[in-house]
Amino acid sequence: MFKMKKNIVVALAAFMAAGSIMTVDAHAESDLPMYFDFGDTVLNVEAGSTQKMHMRAYYDYTYHMGPHTSAGTYLECSFKSGTQDVIFHIGADEQAGNVPFYFYVDDEKVMSDATYDDVQVRVKNNGGATAAQAATQVAAQNTAVAESVQAPIANKKTGTVKKTDNIAMLYNDKDVAMASFSLTNGNGQMATLGLKGVVAGEGANYFDVVSATDSTPVISESDKAVMTANGFAGVCVNGKYKNW
């Protein structure tokens, strides 16, 4: 009798386990199913709006964005493992027709090898752009977020700030490198960086940049001294002034 009851309990447990597996909301939309499980890998989002997506992350993660023009374009997420809803925000002034969001594992349990998966966001109604207007759109994007911008330096001269990957380097008027900086997302990883120009604030100049997150500047003490001597007190990230 006891053996029969035990068998019934085991069978019932197996049935419940199978049922729970069948009800798991599995999307399997990922090139890295051992790391991420996305609700979708391509989204269509109106400029100036948001879209929620259900996903599962098996480890803590971070994200970076591809080329974009608006500080209002970013991802609202937990950066933590688990099943969750994330929200894609697309700025009203976003000019890029497609913004890729790159997801990276950022967990001490997994050795990082820079492997990533991505979700592509197609931006709709961003100025009525069409395939035939792609060249115009790219030009507008390059104007908003550039690879290099002019910058006033000491002795009333004009230098240049140039971006390579996510590192910005300040050059003097003779195109000689003087100092550099980057951004961090606060998780020990380099953040995305886009150059917009130079803005004045609180009696000093700031490099006007955009980033995927509320990033902070990273700079060596020697480079900080050079930047300060040339009138730069820090960076303005997504409209927020941050000193070195």
Domains of the chain: 24-142 (2.60.40.10), 146-243 (no CATH)
Return the minimum-mean-pLDDT range out of 78-92, 169-183, 188-202.
188-202
Q: Which two tokens stand for residue 59?
A: 């480890």
Q: Is the pLDDT of residue 40 over 50?
A: yes
Q: Are strands 42-46 and 116-124 parallel, antiparallel or unpaired?
A: parallel
Percent of the chain with pLDDT over 70: 77
- Candidates 173, 195, 184, 193; CA nearest to 244 is 184
> Hey, what are 201's tokens?
């604030």
pTM of the model: 0.47
Enclosing H/E stretch for 167? strand 167-171
Rounded to the nearest integer, the mean pLDDT of the chain is: 80
Residues 6+ apart with CB under 8 A from 202: 233, 241
In this predicted structure, the answer to whether residue 137 has a pLDDT above a threshold of 70 is no
Give first-to-last CA distance, the chain, whole Å.
75
Report the share of the chain in percent with pLDDT over 90: 48
pLDDT above 60 for 4: no
pLDDT (tens digit, 9 = 90+) per residue, 121-135?
Answer: 999 987 544 434 444
Residue 37 main-chain phi, psi, to 5 deg? -140, 100
CA distance 192 to 70: 13
Main-chain phi, psi angles of 55, to 5 degrees: -150, 165
What is the CB neighbour count within 10 angstroms for residue 26? 11
Rounded distance, CA 7 to CA 170, Å? 74
Neighbours of 129 (CB within 10 A): 18
Residue 175 vs residues 87, 170, 171, 224, 233: alpha-carbon distances, Å: 42, 9, 5, 19, 21
d(CA 195, CA 211): 9
Number of Cβ atoms within 10 Å of the Cβ of 31: 12
